[in-house]
């Protein structure tokens, strides 16, 4: 352990699985006190228990990112436990891919609530404490969909474009007050959701090979690779990086495809 986040307190949303889980695990290994936020405690209590066995401080919290009152309650609990919050990682997200004309108003709103309003709810809750201390690092997990449009993925890219815009706007807004806000944009990463999607394809192995072949590096990304980028941005090593987005897609978005 290099302790790049020694004695820092970090909230990670969507910590129950996939990218959020990988980020929480890595942050704890690097010395952070981690608050694991997800919809239910069932998804985070096991990770919290395993971290505590190794002497790392962690707290499992249940809250829906679309409900500001739940977020406020969770943040107050985290502050009472750890004293203050240094880092926020907004990793919770939801894939909503629909035909634009078939998309219902409720589906549109749910996509925006989880992927855009949710991160904003968390930011609003932690900002007062960060501003008081004149220190804070926020990392939003956006998507390659926020850079390149893939047919059949509407309205998810709309929300992710918005999240990158939120990152840049708030990053500039609070830059002079010790707050850094950045985002990362993963491409195809082998999360449980990606595995489930591949399994649902008519020929899962053929689809996996197709996706690998689209990537210049000829392999699909892993959650840990996203986590290490989040770690860098959340650490003081990145203290002059603000209001920007880092693509983590193996170079795919730079190449034309049929």
Selecting among 120, 135, 156, 228, the annotated active-site residue is 156
Q: Which residue intervals of the chain are DSSP H helices?
A: 18-29, 45-53, 68-82, 105-112, 118-133, 156-173, 192-200, 204-214, 223-234
Is there a catalytic annotation at residue 156?
yes
DSSP character for 216? T
Residue 145 CA to residue 186 CA, distance in Å, equals 9
Query: Burial code of 85-95, b = ≥16 C-beta within 10 A, e = fewer?
Result: bbbbbbbbbbe
Q: Name the one residue in this structure whose structure tokens are 């190794």.
A: 54
Residue 151 CA to residue 181 CA, distance in Å, equals 29
CB-CB contact of 140 with 159 (8 Å): no
Total count of residues recorded for the chain: 258
Catalytic residue positions, numbered = 156
């Amino acid at each position: 352990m290099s302790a790049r986040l020694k004695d820092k307190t970090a909230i990670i949303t969507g910590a129950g699985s996939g990218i959020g889980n990988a980020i929480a695990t890595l942050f704890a290994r690097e010395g952070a006190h981690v608050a694991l936020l997800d919809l239910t405690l069932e998804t985070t209590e096991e990770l919290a228990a395993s971290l505590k066995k190794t002497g790392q401080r962690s707290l499992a919290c249940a809250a829906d990112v679309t409900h500001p009152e739940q977020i406020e309650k969770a943040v107050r609990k985290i502050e009472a436990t750890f004293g203050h919050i240094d880092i926020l990682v907004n990793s919770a997200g939801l894939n909503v891919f629909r035909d634009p004309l078939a998309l219902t108003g409720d589906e549109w709103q749910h996509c925006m609530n989880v992927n855009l309003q949710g991160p904003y709810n968390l930011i609003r809750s932690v900002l007062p404490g960060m501003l008081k201390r004149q220190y804070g690092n926020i990392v939003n997990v956006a998507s390659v969909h926020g850079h390149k449009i893939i047919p059949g993925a509407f309205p998810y890219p709309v929300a992710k474009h918005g999240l990158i815009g939120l990152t840049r706007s708030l990053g500039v807004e609070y830059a002079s007050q010790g707050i850094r806000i950045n985002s990362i944009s993963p491409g195809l990463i082998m999360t449980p959701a990606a595995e489930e999607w591949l399994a649902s394809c008519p020929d899962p192995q053929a689809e996996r090979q197709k996706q690998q072949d689209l990537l210049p590096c000829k392999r699909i990304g892993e959650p840990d690779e996203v986590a290490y980028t989040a770690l860098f941005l959340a650490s003081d090593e990145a203290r002059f990086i603000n209001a920007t987005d880092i693509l983590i897609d193996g170079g795919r978005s730079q190449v034309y495809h049929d």
